Chains A and B, each alone.
Chain A
Amino acid sequence: MLHVALVFAPLLGAVFAGLFGRVLGDGASRLIACGFMTVSALISIVVFHQVAIEHETVVIELMTWMDSEAFEVAWTLRFDELTAVMTLVVSVVSCLIHWYSIGYMAHDPHVPRFFAYLSLFTFAMLMLVTADNFVQMFFGWEGVGLCSYLLIGFWFDRPSANAAAIKAFVVNRVGDFGFALGIMAIFLVFESVDFATVFAAAPEVAGSSMVFLGREFDTLTVITLLLFVGAMGKSAQLGLHTWLPDAMEGPTPVSALIHAATMVTAGVFMVARCSPLFEYAPDTLMVITVVGASTAFFAATVGLVQNDIKRVIAYSTCSQLGYMFFAIGVSAYSAAIFHLMTHAFFKALLFLGAGSVIHAMADEQDMRRMGGIYTLMPLTYAIMWIGSLALAGIPFFAGFYSKDIILEAAYADGTGFGDYAFGLGIVAAFLTAFYSWRLLFMTFHGRVRAEPSVMARVHDAPKIMMIPLVLLSLGALFAGFVAYGAMVGEGSGFWGGSLFVLPENDTVAAAHHVPFWVKASPTVLAVAGIGVAWWFYIARPGIPPAIATMHRPIYVFLSRKWYFDELYDLAFVRPAKRIGHALWRGGDGRVIDGFGPDGVSAAVVRLAHRAARLQTGYVYHYAFAMLVGVVGFVSWFFYAIGG
C-alpha cells in the first residue's frame, strides 16, 4: 500500500491540479500537488530504509495490462535496491523542486497546469524506475518524454520554446525507436518482457547470434545496442544530445528536475537495470565507454564558451551524463548510479541557484549582463559555490567521491577504452572546474554589467525558494560522504542482486587499488581549473577575448557546439523538409488528392451528370437502349461460343 502510494500520489496531485485547477485556483492546486509530492517523498525515505537498508525486495502486481497469447504484461511495481535509490532521488528532488516552484512560478498565469505537468512527470518517472518489465518501463519512458515536451513548451507563446519542445520530442523519438526495437528484439529472443525472466535467461543467450537487417550479429550485442540508442536519446549522449541545451527554454525548475536530476538520468538507470544483459555484450560496453567519454569531453569543451547561464549548466549536465555512461562502459554500474545520485543533488542545486539568479535579474540569462552581485544575494552565492565545488569534485563535496570512483574505475579497467575514457575524463574534469568558476565569476564578480534599474531590485529569493536550496545543498555537501562506503565501498553488499557485474569486470573493486596519482589527479586538475578561471576572469579579464580572437576558428567551432545543429540541419532536417514538401505538393496534393478524393469526387459528379443525361424521356430511345443491350449480349455469345 505504502509503495503504491509512493508511485501514485504524484498522479493524484497531477489529476487534481490538472483537471480541477481552474476550480481550485492557483493556491489550492499548487498546495495539493506539493502536498501529494511531499507524501510521496516521505514514503520514499521509508521505502528506501526498508528496501535498501533492510534488503527487503518488494514486488507488487497491480493488474494485468496486456494478455495476448504468449505476450503477457502486468502493471507491477518492483522495489529493489536500485529502485529504492532512484525513487529516493526522484521523489525527494521532485518534492524540493515542487516547493521551490511555488515561489519561482508565483507570477505565472498558468500555475495549475505547471504543477499538473510537474506531478505527472514525477509519476511517470516513478513508473519508469519501479517497472518490472520492459513494456511498463517504456510506458514511464514515454510518459516522461511527453511531460518533458509539455514542460519545455510550457511557455507556449514563445516560438523558441515550441521549437525546442518539438526538437526534444523528435530527437527523443529517434532514441525511443531504438528502445522499442530493443524491446521487440527481447521479446523475440526471450519470449518475455519481464525483467526476471529475461535476465535469468541472458547467460544462455549470450554468444548466440541473430539476423538483423539481413546480417548476422551477436544477439545480445544487437539488443543492448538498441537499448543503448534509447538511453542515448533520453540521456543526451553525443549524437542525440542536441535537444538538451535547447530544452533550457522551459522554466528553470523544469530544467532542474527533468533536464538535470531525473529524466536525463533515465538512460543511465535503464542501462544499469539491464546490467545482466550488458555484461554479456562486451562490444556494446566498449561502444558505451567511447560514447560516454566523448560526450563528457565534448560537452565540457562547449560549456567553456557558452554565455547563457543555463546553457553552461546544461552542457555540464551532458558532460556529467557522459561520465556516468563511461562508468557503465567499464562495468562500474554502482559508480554510475552513485554519481547519478550525487549529481542529482548538486546539479539541481546549481540549476535552482541559477534560477534564483535569473529570478533576481529580471529573467536575464546572459552572463555577460550580470556581474558584481555577490554582495546583493549572499545566500544564493554561497549555494552556487557549494554546487560548483561539488560539480568540480573538490574533496569532501559530493561530486568528489562519485567522480573519483568513476575515473578510478576507468583507469582500473585497464583496456584501451578504459584509458581513453580516463584521459578524456581527466581533461573534462579540468574543463568542468574551469567553466564552473567562469560561471561563478562572470555572474557574481567583476564589473556590474546589468541595467541600474535591474540592479536595484536584485535580492535573495524568498524563503519558499531558499529552503529547498538549503536542503539540496546539504545533499550536495554530504551525499557523497555518507553513501560512498555503502554504494561503492569495497565489499559492500548494498546493491544486492539489483546490479550485476561479471567477476572479471569488477572495476569498482579494482578502483580502490589504483596508484595515488590517479586518485589525486582529478582534484589537482580541478583546482588548476579554478585557478585558471580566476586568472582569466578576475585577475586578467582581457585574456579570454584575446584568446578568442587569436584562435577564432576554435572559438567559433566551440561556440557553435561543434556544428552539430548545422550538420543535422543539413543532413536530416532540410532533406526531410524537402521530401515532406515534395510529398505534400506532389504526392498528396497532386497524386492522392488529384486521383483520390478530389479526382474521384470530380469523376463521380461528371459520370453522374452523364448517367442522368442518358435519360432523355423518349420512349424510342429507351426501346433502342434495350435493343442494343440484347444485340450486344447476342453478339457476345456469338463471339464467345460461335467463335
Chain B
Amino acid sequence: MIVQTLTFCLLAAVTLASGVMVISARNPVHSVLFLILAFFNSAGLFVLMGAEFLAMIMVIVYVGAVAVLFLFVVMMLDINFVELRQGFLQYLPIGGLVGLIMLVELLLVLGGWAIRPPAGVVAAAEPAVAGVSNTEALGSLLYTRYVYLFQAAGMVLLVAMIGAIVLTLRTRAGVRKQSISRQVSRRRDEAVEVKEVAPGSGI
C-alpha cells in the first residue's frame, strides 16, 4: 500500500512539474520533450490504477504519434516563441490572481468533498468485472453500450480529416510533380519532333 502511495506521489509530482515546464520552458523543443515526459508519467498513473490498456494507448498514441508530430512541427516551423511570450509578464498579475482564485475555489470544492461527502448523492463506480481483461471490457462496452458515442466520435474524426484537407490541400500551378501514368503512357511522337533543317541555317 505504501509503495503504491509513494509511486503515485512520485508520478503525480513529476507530471505536474513537467506540465509547468511545458509552458515555462524557453526552448519549444524542450517544451515538447517535457510534454512527452508528462504523458509517460500519466501512463504510469494509469498502470497504477490497473488500466494497462489505456496506459499503452497513451504511450502509443500520444507519445508515439501526437508528440512526435508536435516535435516535427516545432522544429520545422521557425516560430519565435519569445515574441509570443511578450505579453506574459504584463498580464501575469491579473491572470495570476484569477488563476489563484480559481485554484483556491476548486481546492475548497474537492477538499470539502474528500473530507465530508454529502449524503444522498453517491458515486456509483462500475464494478470491476472479474476475469475479463481491460481490453476486452473496454471493447465490449464500446461496441455495445457506447456504440452511439463510438460512431459519433468516428464522425468527429471524419470532420477533422475533411477539415484538415480542406484547409491545407491546394493544387499549386507550376510545381514539378512526378506523374507516373503520364510518363508510362508517353509516346514517341510526343517527345520527338523531326524537322527539316535547311543547310546553313539554325532552328
Contact = CB atoms under 8 A, between A and B. Distances in A.
Interface of A: 620, 624, 627-628, 630-631, 634-635, 638, 642
B91 interface: yes
14 contacts: A620-B91, A624-B91, A624-B95, A627-B98, A627-B102, A630-B102, A631-B98, A631-B102, A631-B105, A634-B102, A635-B101, A635-B105, A638-B108, A642-B108
A632 to B, nearest CB: 9
B105 A634 contact: yes
B127 interface: no
B87 interface: yes
Contacts of B105: 631, 634-635, 638
The size class of the interface chain B forms with chain A is under 10
Contacts, number: 20
Interface in B74-118: 87, 91, 95, 98, 101-102, 105, 108
Contacts of A642: 108
Contacts of A631: 98, 101-102, 105
Interface of B: 87, 91, 95, 98, 101-102, 105, 108
Which of A620, A624, A630, A631 lies at the interface centre, i.e. has the most chain B CB atoms within 10 A of its CB?
A631
Contacts of B102: 627, 630-631, 634
Contacts of A638: 105, 108
Contacts of A628: 98
B90 to A, nearest CB: 11
B65 to A, nearest CB: 27
Contacts of B108: 638, 642
A617 to B, nearest CB: 14
Contacts of B101: 631, 635
Contacts of B87: 620
A627 B96 CA distance: 12
Given A628-B98, A630-B102, 10 more contacts: A620-B87, A624-B91, A624-B98, A627-B102, A631-B102, A631-B105, A634-B102, A638-B105, A638-B108, A642-B108
A13 B95 CA distance: 85
A156 B45 CA distance: 100
A638 B104 CA distance: 11
A638 B87 CA distance: 31
A635 B87 CA distance: 27
Nearest to B87: A620
Nearest to B105: A634
A348 B144 CA distance: 110
Contacts of B98: 624, 627-628, 631
A635 B101 CA distance: 8
B108 to A, nearest CB: 7
A628 to B, nearest CB: 6
A549 to B, nearest CB: 93
A628 B102 CA distance: 9
Contacts of B95: 624
A634 B101 CA distance: 10
Contacts of A634: 102, 105
B126 to A, nearest CB: 29
Contacts of A630: 102
Nearest to B97: A631
B84 to A, nearest CB: 10
Nearest 8 pairs between A and B by C-beta? A631-B102, A634-B105, A631-B98, A631-B101, A627-B98, A638-B105, A628-B98, A635-B101
Contacts of A627: 98, 102
Nearest to A627: B98
A628 B98 CA distance: 7
Contacts of A624: 91, 95, 98
A620 B87 CA distance: 10
A627 B97 CA distance: 12
A631 B98 CA distance: 7
